[in-house]
Amino acid sequence: MMSELTPRQSIFVKEYLVDLNGTAAAIRAGYSQKTARQMASQNLAKLNISHAIQEGFRKRQERLDIDQDWVIGRLKDNHDKATQAVALLDKHGEPTGTYTFQGSVANRSLELIGRHLGMFQEKLKVGDPMPEESDDFPDERPQPKDPKLRLPLDQLKKAATWIESVCYELNFPVPVELVAWCRGEGWEEMGH
């Protein structure tokens, strides 16, 4: 049997569901600002709190009558509206003969639908072994000072692709700074 939530834990769950920010939820639940981050981490790791959060998501989804079909339907509607050609008018309100559409909106809708359906699989997948290590290091990038950190740029780029694919597959946010670093961005600022 799962243990009941304390009053403070109940408030934490309610506040977490507002913005999915654990630290902010902990502060709003009455934890001190000094320890809020740590308390949020501890609370989110507790099984009874995790279940309460999932139940909160389920109830919200039920209450709003939102499911995957609803979301996909709205994305499809966005795509359809964005691809409708709209006549451009001159300053007198007359058609110019030129038409426009919202390509970026249409593409983003397609991307989200395709990602949901698993259509954009990277070549490297979760569970794929990393490529063999090599002592080669490309000349166009400075080498890290510590020889243990020297990896070929192509291997780092493959690691970046692998990290992104794992994040997409698990629906986690992509660690943009780490991926950029793996692609060789910002090495000079780090003294490498």
Quote the pLDDT of residue 16: 93
For residue 95, the cross-strand partners are: 89
Per residue in 61-85, pLDDT (tens digit) is: 888 888 888 888 998 998 898 888 8
Residue 135 has pLDDT above 70, yes or no: no
For each of the domains in the chain, give its residue range(s) and CATH number, in order of start: 7-64 (1.10.10.1400), 68-112 (no CATH), 121-182 (no CATH)
CA–CA dist 130, 181 (Å, integer): 17
CA–CA dist 79, 100 (Å, integer): 14
Strand segments, DSSP code E, in the chain are: 86-89, 95-100
State the pLDDT confidence band at 138, using cuts at 50, 70 and 90: very low
CA–CA dist 16, 95 (Å, integer): 51
Query: What is the identity of the amino acid at 96?
Result: T
Indicate the Cα dihedral angle 99, 104, 109, 110, nearest 10°.
Answer: 90
CA–CA dist 31, 120 (Å, integer): 42
Per residue in 158-179, pLDDT (tens digit) is: 777 777 777 666 666 767 777 6
- Selected residue with higher pLDDT from 134 and 16: 16
Note whether 101 and 138 are within 8 A (CB). no
> What is the value of pTM for the model shown?
0.46
Note whether 87 and 96 are within 8 A (CB). yes
CA–CA dist 177, 181 (Å, integer): 6
